[in-house]
Structure 1
């Protein structure tokens, strides 16, 4: 009876069922009585081995430096983090108010927000800059600063244009150019005329009028604000100003232009071009815009006062009182203090402003009267800012204990 031989490994380190290749070139010499050399162990694939399946998979992945979706996903993740931190700050400020959590959440919120701002401009803006670069300096439009109305008996002085090239372009009509280029309207190469400046000045005048009306008449409905703006910027109004300043007397043009039906429109165009040149000719573009805005505000003051609505000295009064005392859980209540009165067909509303929070309950801050509730609320906020009893100051001090101001970063 055959006996099963046990499966033993020999001294060469291999199993007899798995006999090694006897190729002496690979496995060395085998002696008569000595042990056999075992097989040469195979090396694990490395990252330099092109047959490595892991390397093949990695090669198919996009390069993070060149992958726009990867960058977009990273930015979206950080934007989401900023939104979550913003919510966390609000929750902590209105709940348990853990000062450490609140402090670090605000710090991280600020750092991520700064990082996101560095990633701009975006690719579309970069493409636009490369294919259609800007040809004039950027115009910095400053925040609106309310100025008192000046009802002048005469026109305010005409601010000077300090750049000679722009001065020449403002007072040159297309018909003053050579006869060949005068056949068609528009800017042609080195041809100098006011048309491109008129295009830009029209936009400046529109935004200055919009800022002025939006700030001075916050209680007026948008449809009426649009109508009033149109009264300020329409060609008939600008033509009158152009005539009053004698801008047409300096204009270089072809024959018979002043007698044409379009002369009024031309004078309005010259006025628009003058505003654009005024902004562009100032080295500090923000200062140039402010000069134009101050001049137009004084020029438009008589018309604005004809709108038969009481101008508001501080149109941002409600925003200012909110910044001083408002926070989560704090209430500023605008209430009717007495019924509306009708005098000579005109309404008058009476509104009071009351504070609940920071240790005060229904504390009266100020009162105001107006032709409608919105206007009366603004006047009530103005009265509250006077802080005759020091309530606003005390409430603001309590707010600063919970929401301390952020330290200003040193500008290197």
Structure 2
């Protein structure tokens, strides 16, 4: 599969934004595939690369945390990594490079604000896969990704819950009520706002503790759990 000359120049610009050398051994066909949405090409798109990229980001984050925080235990490292590889954070990193400008997709999809976070996170994982598979190492990934991981980790570590409010809320309800909270999620599309597709409520013993919204069910549940957990901390 060859890459169109105009497309090749676009991809070169992206590689330069990442701070990689023009001579970097990038497999351009893979990079082109990584930035092709399924709505543009049902057969040749980023979905298979996204599968690999999910493992790549986990490995890169684990390697980074292992090296930078030798005194942190396995539980803390796992909690931080879970936050680092979330769609929310991956889409933020992707957006910092303007990744959506390089993503080939249908006009309808490009106008879909509801799915933007998920779309950017998926394309970002596929990008990581393309770079990893170009050398079968993290040599094209770690040089530019580590700075983002450092910044995000600093933010996460300043949060007592490590940005896992569902886990924190579950621990609180088990300790105080010996039971688990219940989440009720409703899909509302764009009626609830341009960017949030789901609304979640968290309940405990017939009482609503909090409500949140997000572009995915998980994001909405985390948002609801955050409201509930912070409210309970004020009450106690």
Instruction: Assess, with a 3 A threshold, how the Cα gap between structure 1 residues 249 and 156 changes in structure 2: closer, same or farther.
Output: closer
Cα distance in 1 for partners of 2:65, 2:74 equals 10
Q: Does 1:303 align with 2:165?
A: no
**1:294 Cα deviation after fit:** 2.6
**1:161 Cα deviation after fit:** 7.0
Cα distance in 1 for partners of 2:116, 2:68 equals 33
Q: Which has the higher helix share?
A: 2
In structure 1, the residue matched to 2:142 is 293
Cα distance in 1 for partners of 2:97, 2:87 equals 15
**1:220 Cα deviation after fit:** 1.9
Q: Which runs of 5+ in 2 are unaligned?
A: 1-16, 159-236
> Alignment partner of 2:146: what SS?
helix
Q: Which runs of 5+ in 1 are unaligned?
A: 1-154, 183-190, 309-412
For the 8 Å contact 2:20–2:140, the answer to whether it is kept is no
Matches for 1:380-395 after TM superposition, within 5 Å: none
What's the C-alpha RMSD, in Å, of the aligned pairs?
2.4
In structure 1, the residue matched to 2:172 is none
Whose relative contact order is higher, 1 or 2, with alpha carbons under 8 Å and at least 6 apart? 2
**1:303 Cα deviation after fit:** 2.2
Structure with larger Rg: 1
> Of residues 73, 79, 83 in structure 2, which corresponds to 1:227?
79
In the TM superposition, what whole-angstrom CA distance separates every residue of 1:157-214 from its partner, at most 9, and x where no partner exists? 267672221122011111102xxxx4xxxxxxxx211111111011011011112212
**1:224 Cα deviation after fit:** 1.8
Cα distance in 2 for partners of 1:198, 1:215 equals 25
In structure 2, the residue matched to 1:175 is 39
Cα distance in 1 for partners of 2:45, 2:62 equals 28
**1:156 Cα deviation after fit:** 5.6
For the 8 Å contact 1:156–1:295, the answer to whether it is kept is yes
In structure 1, the residue matched to 2:64 is 212
Instruction: Assess, with a 3 A threshold, how the Cα gap between structure 1 residues 172 and 161 changes in structure 2: closer, same or farther.
Output: farther
> Alignment partner of 2:109: what SS?
coil
In structure 1, the residue matched to 2:19 is 157
Instruction: Assess, with a 3 A threshold, how the Cα gap between structure 1 residues 235 and 207 changes in structure 2: closer, same or farther.
Output: same
Q: Does 1:252 align with 2:104?
A: yes
In structure 1, the residue matched to 2:120 is 267
> Alignment partner of 2:26: what SS?
coil
For the 8 Å contact 2:37–2:105, the answer to whether it is kept is yes
In structure 2, the residue matched to 1:276 is 129
> Alignment partner of 1:290: what SS?
coil
Instruction: Assess, with a 3 A threshold, how the Cα gap between structure 1 residues 161 and 274 changes in structure 2: closer, same or farther.
Output: farther
> Of residues 224, 238, 242 in structure 1, which corresponds to 2:90?
238
**1:223 Cα deviation after fit:** 2.1
In the TM superposition, what whole-angstrom CA distance separates every residue of 1:315-362 from its partner, at most 9, and x where no partner exists? xxxxxxxxxxxxxxxxxxxxxxxxxxxxxxxxxxxxxxxxxxxxxxxx
Instruction: Assess, with a 3 A threshold, how the Cα gap between structure 1 residues 161 and 249 changes in structure 2: closer, same or farther.
Output: farther
For the 8 Å contact 1:156–1:299, the answer to whether it is kept is no
Cα distance in 1 for partners of 2:20, 2:37 equals 21
Cα distance in 2 for partners of 1:213, 1:163 equals 28
- TM-score, normalised by the number of residues in structure 1: 0.31
